[in-house]
Structure 1
Amino acid sequence: MEIVKSTMTPYKEALNCLSSLIIPRTRADASTIRFDLMFDYLKILELEGPVSQLNVIHVAGTKGKGSTCTFVESILRNCGFRTGLFTSPHLIDVRERFKIDGVEISQEKFLTNFWWCWNRLREKTNDDVPMPFHVCFLALLAFKIFSVEKVDVAILEVGLGGKYDATNVVKAPIVCGISSLGYDHMEILGNTLGQIAGEKAGIFKQEVPAYTVPQPEEAMSVLRDQASHLSIPLRVVSPLDTEILKDQQLGLHGEHQYLNAGLAIALSKSWLQRTGHEESIFLNNTQNTLPEQFVRGLTMANLPGRAQIISDPSFEQLVFYLDGAHTPESLEVCGKWFSSVVREETQSAKSCKSEQILLFTCLSVRDPRLLLPPLVNSCASHGIRFTRALFVLNQSAYNMFGAHATTQDEPQVDVSWQLTLQKVWDNLIHGGKGKKQEELNTAKGDESSSVFPSLPLALNWLRENAQRNKSIRSQVLVTGSLHLVGDVLRLIKK
């Protein structure tokens, strides 16, 4: 019998294996049973010792934890340390989650470590200890990569919650941080800020310093109680003073990033102090100045998909403003950032007309009635109003691990959720005089909103619109979902 060899590349094969570990995300994902299995996986992979030797900075939060981790990594890398950064989610390629010295890991190193973990887990797991969920596998892979690469510091962003997150198997981090808290993933973490704060505070450990930013009192009281229970001080840090950077700008844009930068500075200082490196960095600095290495780190930090601006390669006048905001609070901040950038660009090019278009989607577990008003009101308060809103599927034809896309139209695409978003939008904009939910727009005439069955179709419409109106600068805000932001980036770069 003839044996047919697979034409699949080793990398694609690894991505398919990862995809096989995906399960629907429910409250069961955060169960203690699944979290306890992480310790079994560490034993199988013989990673207990290596993980205990990592000098970890652990960060949880609702908003800004990825930005905080990015600032920390950049600061400590500029201080001369070999850094490992583990974040989620990725935008285009899963390797974005694993950075060594600020650069995503190569395919070769990814595959070497991936198959090392995969083969051992496939051999040793059973009915009692099954293969890990994909989020658990990715955390295990990060531990393996950072151990092999012998990083000086491992910065770990919590994926979801904190107490039962896969990264929380680290028993003795050097320092912990909690970024801004808000309402998100309530189907898993709880319906109140207090419950959400309790899950986030699950990363606190005895004898490990903890830092946070100003929080709503309901959340802050829970964080304080948890810290007190562990007999550790909880320090609340202030936003970075804009004067400290003088004429330089943070590498991550938006006023809210000064709060994340303040937390990152505190975490970096604590890590340097507790690892015996503080004196060498701060030796010749006065009390009110930051070391040069810190300033470089803050100004050179880079995080795609957050307050990112990119022009379409085919049409210079078509510009995308990308931000993965997906909570009421972060969408309000996103609107403020978008408005400020649009106003600045308008002032610098007074002769050029412009229009603002919204490209939006969100998960069906989120309430668009809570998400869209803060965005619209924030923009409107700064004089920015969208001429049209486009609603697309939350995920295009790409899968979450970076497989290739297809632009073929799906004949049976369910757009009921996007029609719901459209109805909320039309009611918001037209004061309850919106279109019927069952009506599917086709982006014609002067309609103020449209639904598209695929992201490529929406991008095609934007490009055709730019072609028809060459004298107008189309400023497209892409927000509501990091998956959407990643898909737009991937399509633009193609």
Structure 2
Amino acid sequence: MHNTAEFGSTCALTESLLRHQGVRTGFFSSPHILSTNERIRIDGQLLAKDKFTEQFWKVYNRLWDRREHDHDMPAYFKFLTILGFHVFVAENVDVVVLEVGIGGEHDCTNIVRNVRTVGITSLGLEHTELLGRTLPEIAWQKAGIIKSGSHVFTHVTQPVCLDVIRQRTQEQSATLYEVPPTEDYFRSDAYAPIWQTFSHLIRLNGSLAIQLASDWLTQSGRQRHTPNEVRMDPQLLGGLISAHWPGRCQLIEWHGMRLHLDGAHTLESMAVCTDWFAKSVRDSVHPKILIFNRTGESGFEPLLQLLNRTCAFDMVCFVPNLATSTPNAPSQVMVRFSPEMQLQRARTIATAWSDLCATEQQKDVGQVFNTLTDAFTAIWQRFPPATDSDAQLEVLVTGSIHLLGAAISALDLIDDSTSRTKI
């Protein structure tokens, strides 16, 4: 399945729906938030670290022994993909929900040939340095996961993207289905009241996930379902509401803060994120704080414009994806971008924010920090924790999944440091 930005949740929803039908599932996703083993799940659970370690060395040593020259080893993501396949075979799963890394056509996950069911979520301008500068170019790359004779489901709406997907579907003698809106499943008297309780992610991606799960179950002979059939039952509902996908519209209360965590990094996903945050803080009178970073070469200006319109932030922090100045966990190290490169990027974003504030004749409350620990320390210095338990800071952390991981790591370190100080 190809996923864009917040639509990684489609994979999580699909996996949950399949698991609730009694199917043993494997789930491969990227990137991770805190720990590398998050990328490989069995029956909805993270692969245990001891199993991850066991399989890691088994695969690594086998590849090492079969090298044809000194540099004949797969790169990071390719190795993890191979590792995932080995784990799924060892765990004897019935089905794998395989999330594409970047693009599709040339992504290493695309090595799998026997694919019956394919999903393509909404498309946006991301990884443009690799996938192309226009939506049709990106759509062509993403549609590269379509396999011969497969059933392809999508909720892509842009006409230029749909044209490309239709063309590539025909080239593979596959069948394309544009899924109905999720709300159509909840129009009956029995299920209509539930609709308002759903998260943004279920509303956006529920229909696509239902069609993907149902199609695989049908093609594997486990149930009968007509593509794009709209139905709802307690088992499907249970699969939807039980799905858990951290880092997307996730709210955590922590030490006087309501942390809104969302790894949105495209215009489409940021629109969802800002709408969710605006509704969450609509009735709040407490300070509102933004922590933002955006990696990669794609433009960040449209994201800043959306965030600027969301609310009047009392403090804005631009910060690299670094918990501290000395990375405390190997899985949090960004090999492609040095700390200096990341800090320069944060300064560039802060300058763009200042220009936007000047254009809008707003006060510029943006600041650049070297690390997330520095940012949180500055937040507490400006807004000391209140004695009133109801008084909470409204904090939005967004722009990058890697930023979320660094933020959580920083808070864990602050927590540990505070505990040691009390002792």
TM-score by length of 2: 0.87
Deviation at 1:209, TM superposition (A): 0.7
Q: Give SS of 2:281's match.
A: helix
**1:278-289 paired onto structure 2 within 5 Å:** 278-279=223-224, 289=231
Cα distance in structure 1, aligned partners of 2:237 and 2:366: 43
Structure-2 residue corresponding to 1:120: 62
1:462 counterpart letter in structure 2: I
The C-alpha deviation readout for 1:315-361, integer Å capped at 9, x for no partner, is 32x22100000012211221111001112x53xxxxxx312111001
C-alpha displacement at 1:250, in angstroms?
A: 9.2
Comparing 206-215 with 264-273, greater Cα deviation is found at 206-215
SS at structure 1 position matched to 2:123: coil
Shift of 1:180: 0.3
* 8 Å CA contact retained: 1:63, 1:180: no
Give 1:431's aligned residue: 359
User: How far is the alpha carbon of 1:426 from its aligned partner?
Assistant: 1.6
Asked whether 1:421 is paired with 2:349, we answer yes
- 2:37 matched to which residue of 1? 95
Give yes or no for the alignment of 1:451 onto 2:368.
yes
Distance 1:81 1:364, change over 3 A: closer
Aligned partner of 1:402 in structure 2 is 331
Per the TM alignment, residue 261 of structure 1 is displaced from its structure 2 partner at its CA by 1.0
Residues 403/205 of structure 1: CA separation in 2 closer, same or farther (3 Å cut): closer
Match of 2:419 in 1: none
1:83 maps onto 2:25 in alignment? yes
Whichever residue aligns with residue 379 of structure 2, its letter is L
Q: What is aligned with 1:363?
A: 295
Residue 417 (structure 1) shift:
2.1
CA distance 1:335–1:431, shift in 2 (3 Å)? same
Match of 1:7 in 2: none
Match of 1:482 in 2: 401
Does residue 1:135 correspond to 2:77, yes or no? yes
Structure 1 residue 453, shift from structure 2 partner: 1.1
Per the TM alignment, residue 233 of structure 1 is displaced from its structure 2 partner at its CA by 1.6
Shift of 1:136: 0.5
Inter-partner Cα distance in structure 1 for 2:22 and 2:60: 33
1:166 maps to a residue whose letter is C
Identify the residue that residue 170 of structure 1 maps to in structure 2: 112
Given candidates 335, 340, 347, the residue that maps to 2:274 is 335
What is the CA–CA distance in structure 2 between the aligned matches of 1:414 and 1:219, rounded to whole Å?
32
Q: Where does structure 1 lack aligned partners over 5 or more consecutive residues?
A: 1-58, 347-352, 405-409, 435-445
1:427-480 C-alpha deviation (Å, 9 max, x unpaired): 21232779xxxxxxxxxxx96111111111101122333426556531010001
- Displacement of 1:396: 3.6
1:389 — aligned with what?
A: 316
Cα RMSD of the aligned pairs, angstroms, is: 2.5
- Asked whether the equivalents of residues 21 and 235 of structure 2 are also in contact (C-alpha less than 8 Å), the reply is yes
1:480/1:124 CA distance change after superposition, 3 Å: same
* CA distance in structure 1 between the aligned counterparts of 2:91 and 2:296, rounded to whole angstroms: 39
Question: Residue 261 of structure 2 is aligned with which of 306, 310, 322?
Answer: 322
Structure 2 residues without counterparts, runs of 5 or longer: 334-338, 414-423
Shift in CA distance, 413/148, structure 1 to aligned 2, threshold 3 Å: closer
Rg (Cα) greater in structure:
1
Task: Specify the alignment match of 2:220 in structure 1.
Answer: 275
Cα distance between partner residues in 2 of 1:252 and 1:158:
26
Provide Cα deviations, 1:274-299, integer angstroms capped at 9, x if missing partner. Answer: 000114xx7xxxx7531322110100
Matched, 1:187 2:129: yes
Q: Number of aligned pairs?
A: 398
Distance 2:267 2:364 in 1: 26
Aligned pair in 2 of structure 1 residues 202, 447: CA closer, same or farther (>3 Å)?
A: closer
Distance 1:168 1:61 in 2: 13
Shift, 1:370, TM fit: 2.4
Preserved CA contact (<8 Å) 1:69 1:157:
yes
Cα distance change of structure 1 residues 188 and 320 upon mapping to structure 2, 3 Å threshold: same
Q: Percent identity?
A: 34
Give the conservation status (yes or no) of the 8 Å contact 1:83–1:102.
yes
Q: Quick one: distance in 2 between partners of 1:455 and 1:483?
A: 12
- For 2:85 and 2:308, the matched residues in 1 are separated by 42
Residue 258 of structure 1, aligned match among 197, 200, 203: 203
